Amino acid sequence: MAENGSQLWLRFDKAAPLTAGFNSISGDPALKAFDEFQRACRLMTSAPLPVVNQAGANGLLIATASHPAIRALKWSKELRSLGPEGYLIRTVRLKGKPITVVTANQPQGVLYGVYHLLRIMQTGQSLSDLTIREVPTYQLRILNHWDNLNGTVERGYAGHSIWKWNELPAVLSPRYEDYARANASIGINATVLNNVNATPDILTAEYIRKIKAIAAVVRPFHIKVFISINFASPRVLGNLPDADPLRPEVRRWWKQKVAEIYREIPDFGGFLVKANSEGLPGPMDYGRTHADGANMIAEALEPYKGIVMWRAFVYEPGDDRAKLAYREFIGFDGRFHDNVIIQVKNGPIDFQPREPFSPLFGAMKKTPLMPELQITQEYLGHSNHLAFLAPMWEEVLDADTYAFGEGSTVSKVTNGSFVPAPVSAIAGVANIGEDVNWTGHHFGQANWYAFGRLAWNAQLSSETIAREWLAMTFGSDKKKLTVETVPEDILSMMLGSHQTVVDYMMPLGLHHIFAWDHHYGPEPWCDIPGARPDWLPRYYHNASKEGLGFNRTASGSNAVAQYSSPLKEWFDDPATCPEKYLLWFHHLPWNYRMKSGRTLWDELCFSYDRGVQTVRDYQKIWDRNESWIDAQRFREVQSRLKIQSKDAVWWKDAILLYFQTYSQQPIPYSIERPVHELDDLKKVKLDMKHHN
């Protein structure tokens, strides 16, 4: 098969041989896990393992805890501690000979254990004397698709939606099963099929049948289906005069609609809701609250154990936009039903290249929150730029909120460690489309992979994830890759790539200075008559002859007050504020002295130049590794790196030349000179058809 990226990290035909010497497989052949191992085995060796009734020496045993062979091992106490999805992978001795056991309480746990074993095999790690115990950090690990019913994908850069709504339910694309397998292989167990900017049509009987067809394909891989809903659906579909959540007729409509869905899809997961945000309808249209709206829908779902994921992405005109979600929701802490989870973006603005974590994390001490991460690169160069996002997510999940004392990190305040919740959850906005390689950029696959791995184990390092992905995704007959032999220069390129994008786009805490319509290129001068101020870059950078940045200190908008001590004090003082967030929290003079000894202006210039030079280094790294990368993927990544290199220069010149009109200072002579004129850059208007 051509190396076009369609196999993702599941290229079993290129995996190392079965060096463990498994000579048979036993357990429960009815398990999907059993079948998936045999499928992989056929791809790796052209033949499945012989199935035997009883585990023998050098054999593989795959079964749930109820299987007689597992009960005989007397692991019941340890297995009970694993919950429904945790698993054990153990090497045991039978008459002095090794047997590899994969077991769990439930079939889904066994499936995740088998994929873990296959990952070990694919990455060339030792299969002897295994002692592995895994329990997921989050119980619900969910992809949010921003896919529209007409086949387009909002903020999607890999082609049209993989969901062929016009063909469903009669025609099922083979990609649906490939999608389910890829997700299950990294522990993703849920999917929201449609855009948060939802149309009421998704709740019609016609679309419920289509959703049912997709659910049937992903169900064997233990993936639950959710949908995004439009709050006005009772008015639009039910011909009610309004959608007031306190009106009995509206509440009755939701209960009837939910019952209709569960009749067709008994394991349906629930709803994702974007309400009273960016013009979408919601309970506030009727003088009600977010709690009123969420609880109404929660009541309808409660009999079926369904979940409401209510987004906190709201920012009505007014005060500092970074404060608005906190201000909107903090007063409702403890007022939501048990099956409501508030979905909070990782930062307080909107998936910027770098943000401090949202102050809602930890602040709501009686309400379950779930982080929302963006896998698709809306603000990170779309599918043209190589940006491995695991380091950014690791930074967020490991950030200490101090809300429950030192050590109450974002991951711990959202996984049930501090705030009890019936279910813990984390979401990632998918970067998947119908492109052959799924994500547009081959390295975009690494972000899909990384989200799943971190959702399963938030303590994994970015390096571990990158090594796994590289070893499984690349390599050839000339160069077999393991986690130990992945090219260190490509590994370093991946691990540094997010910081590189930050360096040439918005370093030192700058944010939201993109072009108005596409969030791709720079446009710090943007001015749209009649637009809300907080939709324009000037609102965020506040460039003037005096300096640069957004004053969120006690003397400014006082957004720092929404954080716990000692963070609020650290952020409030430029001397203790991390420099990566400096201009997020402070408006500072151009001659402000940085830790490097340089002025703010010079530091800004050096950051942008460093970003440009590093992308050029990436081109060199990629080119010198050509000998062992298949021709098609080498050429396609090489082409994207060329675009990224040109874009980095575009960003550097646009930002520095524009801000120079305020700083009135020279660009340091030791860095590369601008190659554009500011007036020419201001005329650039992209045709995004060529940038998606």
Q: Tell me the pLDDT tens digit for each residue of 500-540.
A: 999 999 999 999 999 988 899 999 999 999 899 999 999 99
Which pair of tokens denotes residue 395? Answer: 């930074």
pLDDT of 16 above 90? no
What CATH superfamily is the domain 500-550+587-690? Alpha-glucuronidase, C-terminal domain (3.90.1330.10)
Closest alpha carbon to 310 in 297, 294, 322: 294
Task: For residue range 608-642, list pLDDT tens digits in order.
Answer: 999 999 999 999 999 999 999 999 999 999 999 99
CB atoms inside a 10 Å sphere around CB 477: 7
Q: What is the pLDDT of residue 690?
A: 38
Query: Do residues 189 and 85 make contact, with C-beta atoms less than 8 angstroms apart?
Result: yes
pLDDT of 469 above 80? yes
Give the helix/strand (H/E) hosting 681. Answer: helix 678-681
Q: Quote the mean pLDDT of the chain.
A: 95
Task: For residue range 679-688, list pLDDT tens digits in order.
Answer: 999 999 886 6
Which pair of tokens denotes residue 184? Answer: 């299950």
b or e along 638-665 (b: 16 or more beta carbons within 10 Å of the residue's beta carbon)? Answer: eebbebbbebbbbbbbbbbbbbbebbee
> Residue 288, Cα to own-chain centre: how many angstroms?
31
Domain spans, the chain: 12-134, 140-463, 500-550+587-690
pLDDT of 338 above 60? yes
Closest alpha carbon to 426 in 187, 138, 83: 138
| Predicted confidence band of residue 13 (pLDDT cuts 50, 70, 90) | confident
Beta strands in 214-349 (DSSP E): 224-229, 270-273, 307-311, 340-345
Q: What is the pLDDT of residue 94?
A: 82
pLDDT of 15 above 70? no
One-letter-per-residue 3-state SS of 98-140: EEEEEEECCHHHHHHHHHHHHHHHHCCCCCCCCEEEECCCCCE
Cα–Cα distance measured from residue 501 to residue 463, given in angstroms and rounded to the nearest whole number: 18
Q: What is the pLDDT of residue 649?
A: 98
Task: For residue range 203-220, list pLDDT tens digits in order.
Answer: 999 999 999 999 999 999
As annotated, the active-site residues are 278, 350, 378
Residue type, 77: K
| Predicted confidence band of residue 475 (pLDDT cuts 50, 70, 90) | confident
Q: What is the mean pLDDT of residues 410-438?
A: 97
Q: Provide the CATH number for the domain formed by 12-134 in this structure.
A: 3.30.379.10
Query: Do residues 58 and 99 make contact, with C-beta atoms less than 8 angstroms apart?
Result: yes
Q: What is the pLDDT of residue 316?
A: 81
Closest alpha carbon to 153 in 453, 443, 389, 382: 382
CATH architecture of the domain formed by 140-463: Alpha-Beta Barrel (3.20)
Q: What share of the chain is helix, strand, coil (3-state, %, to 5)?
A: 40, 10, 45
Render 494-523 in DSSP notation, one character per residue.
HHHHHHHHHHHHS-TT----B-TTTSSSB-
Q: Which residues contact 270 (CB under 8 A, 6 or more apart)?
A: 226, 301, 306, 307, 308, 309, 339
Q: Which residues pair with 593 in a beta bridge?
A: 599
| Predicted confidence band of residue 318 (pLDDT cuts 50, 70, 90) | confident
Angle subtended at Cα 189 by Cα 188 and Cα 191, rounded to the nearest 5 degrees: 90
Task: For residue range 596-608, list pLDDT tens digits in order.
Answer: 999 999 999 999 9
Q: What is the mean pLDDT of residues 243-260?
A: 98
Q: What is the pLDDT of residue 688?
A: 60
Q: What is the pLDDT of residue 45?
A: 85
Residue 81, CA atoms < 13 Å, CB-side half-sphere: 6
Q: Which residues pair with 89 in a beta bridge?
A: 102, 132
Cα–Cα distance measured from residue 506 to residue 520, given in angstroms and rounded to the nearest whole number: 12
| Predicted confidence band of residue 554 (pLDDT cuts 50, 70, 90) | very high
Whether this model's pTM surpasses 0.95 = yes
Cα–Cα distance measured from residue 427 to residue 341, given in angstroms and rounded to the nearest whole number: 11
Burial of 679 (0-12, 13-18, 19+ CB in 10 A): exposed
Cα–Cα distance measured from residue 139 to residue 135, given in angstroms and rounded to the nearest whole number: 9
Q: Which ranges of 537-676 would DSSP assign to H, the alpha helix?
A: 537-541, 567-572, 582-585, 600-624, 631-663
Burial of 96 (0-12, 13-18, 19+ CB in 10 A): exposed
b or e along 142-180 (b: 16 or more beta carbons within 10 Å of the residue's beta carbon)? Answer: bbbbbbbbeeebebbbbbbbbbbbeebbeeebebbebbb
pLDDT of 435 above 80? yes
Q: Which residues pair with 439 in a beta bridge?
A: none
| Predicted confidence band of residue 691 (pLDDT cuts 50, 70, 90) | very low
